[in-house]
Structure 1
């Protein structure tokens, strides 16, 4: 998998490859645009929020997953993919600010820089797919186009999810396993061919020559065992569900050559043993680093050799224990078992996801019909990719909490299996002549072929819609709101406490405010006394709770400051409320009925923004008769469009 070879093999005259290169450029452009869409809080709070706070000593929120008493997230992978790049950013920012007056420590860079790192890593998926296709003489141009133009690569691949890193690690592992498979198959074929010739040889000199040729063949049984074992450990510590996605790949690596004359169960058991032994050092390294980071193991204890089993934390096991408790996973949402197969797979992979569902149904039908000859061979590349899709999919479907991003590791195998079908799909009837009813039903409702033009039209239309929705529209005002408050907090003189109340909005990334941490202990240079900066930004997040809770919180904040002003201290404060514009009219009515002593004013709206918990209502302000006039139609459209925003209000104190 050499990058130079990858670049040299580019076929510029191929239209599919030119479109792929255009999609590569688009992937990079969308990072810098930037995408304001906010898919899920985990894209910030599982890595960016924590490590921005640690690196730049900023006010931030550490989620329960990084709880020092029961941590379920390893910090090693984010440390290398985020902490070290952020250290480099801090170094560069110092000199850019000193020589050019350009400060790189701001909310825009905080959003874009981690995504740029993930974007660079995402190309490992492309290179892995290309390398596998070249090794097995598969058509790579259309498959690369399917990968590069997919909604997954344009949006998810540049986000800081642990699932995104899991996808990249699975793609790399698939490449190494497939490379080992073809290498072993080649060596075994040559070895057995030479063995047959050796047995048929009549002269001693010919036998000696064939024996030397067979002995000169390279070894293959333990090929890349250290690399594959290390990669698996990294994947499991990054996200323990890697056990589910990586197990079929490791099994195929262990199974190479089984059933031939040169490979037997001794080789199989030896591979397992050495795989475990090679994984042990990496497991120890990750465990020690996590134990030190979360405070289970201290340098003092190491120096005094006062170490016991209680000084170590194994974050993957904590993750598994947490998720084995169905009541805890249910707190994040309970979904039906079929959601991954029938909804999430088509959502992520578009046409290819639908084809994968039908492919799964066809495989099940052939298996139940005992048509084993048409099933993928156990040691073929198709067998590997099929197992890498449907075995994890079946296991993941048993978990009661299911999100589309959990299936990101299926990206490469699905693309390799079905990516070439963007050129057109044929639907041969799977039912035999002895099942005339089902055969006739299939011929009636299933088209024999869908043309390339139709498939591409569906593919690109769906991709554009999903990129706009998840890349820019969904919760798109949250980042803009944080960028706004990062400017507000800079000009607070004299010091003013800012309270933000949010409703029907995802978690607010506090680190993007770029304000010094209130938990850091400082030492006064004159008095040498220790002190901490006072916290100046406070947030009350109501989630999807009824907006009637907003005004009581405002009253409680005002009353607390009025009580303190009667005492020794008097604080300046400001209160803001942020909510989807679709709720603004309802909030205005609530204010008129319940609060008259304080006035609130409109600050600004952030476009675009859509909260699925508070969808826009185009008929909110207009009656039935208004829609029959031109002005009524225009008013409806304007009212509907303005609701695709996040509105910020300020209460006058």
Structure 2
């Protein structure tokens, strides 16, 4: 049995290393999936614009009049590495002809930094398991096999940084807890022996032993306080995720003879004092970046309260107003608990919620002996999972990624249940057919090995593929293609790109110099700004009829400029291929407008939730360009057997149509020279 256990552990460890290698490979491939605009527009888009002087989109969160995003973490974590990369790129381009500022590097390099940060979660989990003597290998395997680590953790989300900082905080607090418990136990043991000792020699020896015990009350205080400050400036919701750990750290040993309420107060005041240096640093950096504080004012010591900005405070003020959060979407209060947790952690999330409900039931039934102690690691992990979920549920805008910091506590607490089952023994007091069925098929170890592990791995594979490569996967490919088009086109040619039913396209991938930067002509000293070459129009999920009117307006204006000032232009439209048939109909019904659309390229795979593929009804011909040419280009109209819904030809074409709808089509929009 012992050898089998060792083999199982070795197998888990090998599988973990394979999954770590997969995490690295998925970053380098690269993943073209696009989870949410925040992964670019709260980090890469802003910093790349600042460092490389590119034409980018600065979102309202970085508005200098009321900034709610701190620049400290992006500056230290991304701007400094990008500066080093730019320096190295000068030499690689000169000596090797290798450009390190291309679209691929702009996408992958920040993700490599996040990849390195993601292993903080792994390291913290391993250290906690080793400290407490827990089964670390299966927990590590569970963590590494989660799509949260394979996809979310390697993206440039502030939530991913929050997860890593929270995991590090978990490790520090749990280590302090076990250290304090050990020291307190030894101190109380020696004090008891000291009181009972009769001989002076024994009392002196015991007193020296007691005084030689290491201090524990303020252990790691400065480190914790610094992590918390940077966590809050990265994302103020860190207050909710970090509170259970900080409170537990202050509560260590309460109720014993050697730790009193005064120790709690001392820890609290010391923690606050230790946070001041990091707090001042973050406020000063933000104030300098957003222009509230200038080096000249510092030099003249003309500094007042209005020279400082506290971005977390602005963030909280903004989100406390429900009218503001409504603009980003209103969700029901139960969404985090019943939907977002299962989306992130599938069966493991369901197990966590079920276990928490069971604990509440036992508390209501006065079964207190079955509940974890408040100062135990189990009690800490339960509060670390459900306290932030409960508080975040009061905010009417909820997204799954907001819950990423609970990943380590959830896996630490519940991962073994994937292989051992929810119950190690029969949990019911009385037997019945229904209870036997529940135990044998859902709760026992046999049921777990049969269902839970399979569901866990299958779901995570599917979600890795979906969010890593399919969801909005054409946006990056579109940006890469447009970047190449801009490079080969003349600088005097204006390129207009209209997008609909897709996420915002990060312009940093186009590598366009900023038109806002003031330049100086070295020959005559005249100041000027670059002319704008690329124009992006993003219309969200606009009705296609209205979209056609927008296209017609842009086309008319461009034609007028082409006639009056000989200004060359190119107009493109990017739209999910699932809407191509409807788009063809719109253009076909407006032939008098003399506008045509020609397919340039289709980017696969791509799926927009805003434009889901149609399972039936749209044929492969729908992705062709001109609706009035369908009968000539599509053989589907030439076969009578197509009327039979069960014919092989019909089924194959319906399947082909479905597959082709998972794409993003780029159309060239231009004036029709003649009516055909």
* Residue aligning to 1:304: 300
Aligned pair partner of 2:655 in 615, 620, 637: 637
CA 1:374 to 1:105, structure 2 compared with 1: closer, same or farther past 3 Å?
same
Please, which runs of 5 or more residues in structure 1 have no aligned partner?
Answer: 1-9
TM-fit CA distance, 1:593: 1.4
* Residue aligning to 1:378: 374
| Contact in 2 for aligned 1:11/1:17 (Cα 8 Å) | no
| Contact in 2 for aligned 1:362/1:430 (Cα 8 Å) | no
State the distance in 2 between where 1:475 and 1:640 align: 17
State the distance in 2 between where 1:70 and 1:82 align: 23
Aligned pair partner of 1:193 in 180, 189, 193: 189
* Residue aligning to 1:7: none
Aligned pair partner of 1:462 in 451, 459, 482: 459
State the distance in 2 between where 1:216 and 1:637 align: 76
* Residue aligning to 1:168: 164
* Residue aligning to 2:484: 487
TM-fit CA distance, 1:561: 3.0
CA 1:103 to 1:462, structure 2 compared with 1: closer, same or farther past 3 Å?
same
State the distance in 1 between where 2:477 and 2:114 align: 21
Is it true that 1:554 corresponds to 2:565 in the alignment? no
Of the structure 1 ranges 544-553 and 109-118, higher mean CA displacement relative to structure 2 is found in 544-553
Aligned pair partner of 1:600 in 597, 601, 609: 597
CA 1:448 to 1:100, structure 2 compared with 1: closer, same or farther past 3 Å?
closer
* Residue aligning to 1:582: 578
CA 1:11 to 1:272, structure 2 compared with 1: closer, same or farther past 3 Å?
farther
TM-fit CA distance, 1:445: 4.2
- Structure 1 length-normalised TM: 0.95
TM-fit CA distance, 1:565: 4.7
Greater than 4 Å deviation, 4+ residue runs: 10-13, 428-433, 439-446
| Contact in 1 for aligned 2:520/2:527 (Cα 8 Å) | yes
Is it true that 1:612 corresponds to 2:609 in the alignment? yes
Please, which runs of 5 or more residues in structure 2 have no aligned partner?
Answer: 1-5, 620-635, 637-641, 672-676
TM-fit CA distance, 1:564: 3.7
TM-fit CA distance, 1:203: 0.3
* Residue aligning to 1:292: 288
* Counterpart mapping for 1:472-551 below 5 A: 472-493=469-490, 495-551=492-548
State the distance in 2 between where 1:426 and 1:357 align: 12
| Contact in 2 for aligned 1:501/1:550 (Cα 8 Å) | no
Is it true that 1:406 corresponds to 2:395 in the alignment? no
TM-fit CA distance, 1:421: 2.0
State the distance in 1 between where 2:649 and 2:506 align: 41
TM-fit CA distance, 1:332: 0.7
State the distance in 2 between where 1:548 and 1:626 align: 33
Spell out, residue by residue over 1:144-184, the C-alpha distance to the aligned partner (whole angstroms, 9 max, x if none): 00000001000100000000000000000000000000110
* Residue aligning to 2:626: none
| 2:574 partner SS | strand
Spell out, residue by residue over 1:103-127, the C-alpha distance to the aligned partner (whole angstroms, 9 max, x if none): 1111111111111100010000000
* Counterpart mapping for 1:126-275 below 5 A: 126-275=122-271
* Residue aligning to 2:70: 74
State the distance in 1 between where 2:143 and 2:443 align: 26
| Contact in 2 for aligned 1:626/1:633 (Cα 8 Å) | no
Spell out, residue by residue over 1:77-123, the C-alpha distance to the aligned partner (whole angstroms, 9 max, x if none): 11111111111211121111111101111111111111110001000
State the distance in 2 between where 1:330 and 1:557 align: 32
Is it true that 1:315 corresponds to 2:333 in the alignment? no
State the distance in 1 between where 2:386 and 2:300 align: 51
| Contact in 1 for aligned 2:19/2:144 (Cα 8 Å) | yes
State the distance in 1 between where 2:438 and 2:383 align: 29
Aligned pair partner of 2:87 in 75, 91, 98: 91
| Contact in 1 for aligned 2:494/2:534 (Cα 8 Å) | yes
- Structure 2 length-normalised TM: 0.92
* Residue aligning to 1:5: none
CA 1:627 to 1:511, structure 2 compared with 1: closer, same or farther past 3 Å?
same
The count of aligned residue pairs is: 639
Aligned pair partner of 1:43 in 29, 36, 39: 39
Is it true that 1:423 corresponds to 2:441 in the alignment? no
| 1:487 partner SS | helix
TM-fit CA distance, 1:443: 4.7
| Contact in 1 for aligned 2:56/2:514 (Cα 8 Å) | yes
* Counterpart mapping for 1:112-127 below 5 A: 112-127=108-123
| 2:645 partner SS | helix
| Contact in 1 for aligned 2:471/2:608 (Cα 8 Å) | yes
* Residue aligning to 1:33: 29
| Contact in 2 for aligned 1:429/1:442 (Cα 8 Å) | no
| Contact in 2 for aligned 1:142/1:422 (Cα 8 Å) | no
